[in-house]
Structure 1
Amino acid sequence: MANNPSNVLRGKMGAVWVDDEQWLHVESLDGTINIEYGDIKFLGDQATYKKQTGWNGTGSLTYRKINSRVQNKMANKVKAGMTVRAKIVVKNDDPDVRGTQHIVLNDVTFDSFVLTKLDANAEFITEELPFAFSHFEIVDSIA
């Protein structure tokens, strides 16, 4: 079978919603599953084997600063000792590819957020939101 460049997914064809609100100013987003393992050893065998004991989800969302949405959503809750939780929906709908990738990240908690930022060397201000999640759903996948 010959290579078909049309089947390569373009990252620019995506959309992101945070708590059902579409964020049009997202530059990049990644969500990663980190697999946790325990060591297994057997008598008479020098090898160390691995067995999955769990997983955790981590990610990062980078966006162009156009408003104070993140600060308004998080600052007062964090200051009051409350955990900020969210749902992030990621959809990649490249019309050149056979199918759509649509993933929902649930129980998202944020590791940090930028409260304020100035940068004389930056043409545009961007901010990063590192996060963790404990549940996910693959709604649609590319064949």
Structure 2
Amino acid sequence: MAEIMSSRDAISGSLAECFIIIEGNRYNFMQAINLEAVIEKNKVEVPILGKTGKGNKATGWSGSGSATFHYNTSIFRELLYRYAKTGQDFYFDIQVTNEDPTSTIGRQTVILKNCNIDGGILTKLDADADYLEEDFDFTFDDFEIPEKFKMLEGMQA
């Protein structure tokens, strides 16, 4: 009989922690609603003698992400204001830890390094909204995975 994943090992999306480190200050970014970071491999097509098709070779990567959070902090607006007035850009790290105490796989922590936001909302209102939220897109150029999930039981054949 085939091994199957236990439902307890599906990680709860809301049981995460998010910290942002900006200019030496560490913030518990508890107002985060969602965050996703992806890595994209850069590839080139490689012609190969004797084949009718081309191969593909990875030549590097780039990292990008997006986040949605409650509209209740001015940290990024202040930094964007500084950038607009002085041209002094800012970079920061984002640390996300996923840990569901019901699961058997433990926790995973990923640190996105040298993040740089693409822009942000300066002000907002919505008379019809239950609450306000905002989004920002960002890039990053390095990352670490200091804590990794354990292998699911039965996963390795």
Aligned to 1:122: 129
The partner residue of 1:68 within 69, 74, 79 is 74
Alignment of 1:53-92 (within 5 A): 53-92=59-98
TM-score w.r.t. the length of structure 2 is 0.86
User: Percent same amino acid among aligned pairs?
Assistant: 27
Q: Secondary structure at the match of 2:79?
A: helix
TM-score scaled by length of structure 1? 0.94
The residue that corresponds to 2:112 in the other structure is: 105
The gaps in structure 1 that reach 5 residues or longer are none
Question: C-alpha distance in 2, partners of 1:121/1:48?
Answer: 54
The CA distance in 2 between the partners of 1:128 and 1:44, in whole Å, is: 50
Q: Give the letter for the 1:132 counterpart.
A: T
Give 1:123 deviation, angstroms.
1.6
1:46 corresponds, among 47, 52, 59, to 52
For each residue in 1:83-135, what CA deviation from the matched residue of structure 2 results, as whole angstroms up to 9, or x when unmatched? 21001111111112221010100010111111111223322110111000000
Is the contact made by 2:80 and 2:119 (CA closer than 8 Å) also made in structure 1?
no
Give secondary structure in 1 for the equivalent of 2:68. Answer: strand
Query: C-alpha separation between the residues in 2 aligned to 1:75 and 1:109?
Result: 14
| 1:15 aligned partner | 17
- Off by >3 Å, runs of 4+ in structure 1: none
2:5 paired residue number: 3
Residue 136, structure 1, aligned to residue 143, structure 2: yes
Alpha carbons of 1:90 and 1:78: their partners in 2 closer, same or farther (altered >3 Å)? farther
- Displacement of 1:57 in angstroms is 0.5
Q: Secondary structure in 1 aligned to 2:14?
A: helix
Q: 1:32 aligns with which of 33, 38, 42?
A: 38
Question: CA contact under 8 A between 1:78 and 1:84: conserved in structure 2?
Answer: no
Q: How many residues are paired up?
A: 143
How big is each residue's C-alpha offset from its partner over 1:29-63, in whole Å with a ceiling of 9 and x where there is no partner? 01100111011011231112110000010001110
Structure 2 unaligned spans of 5+: 151-157
Pairwise CA RMSD of aligned residues? Answer: 1.2
Question: Which of the pair has more CA radius of gyration?
Answer: 2
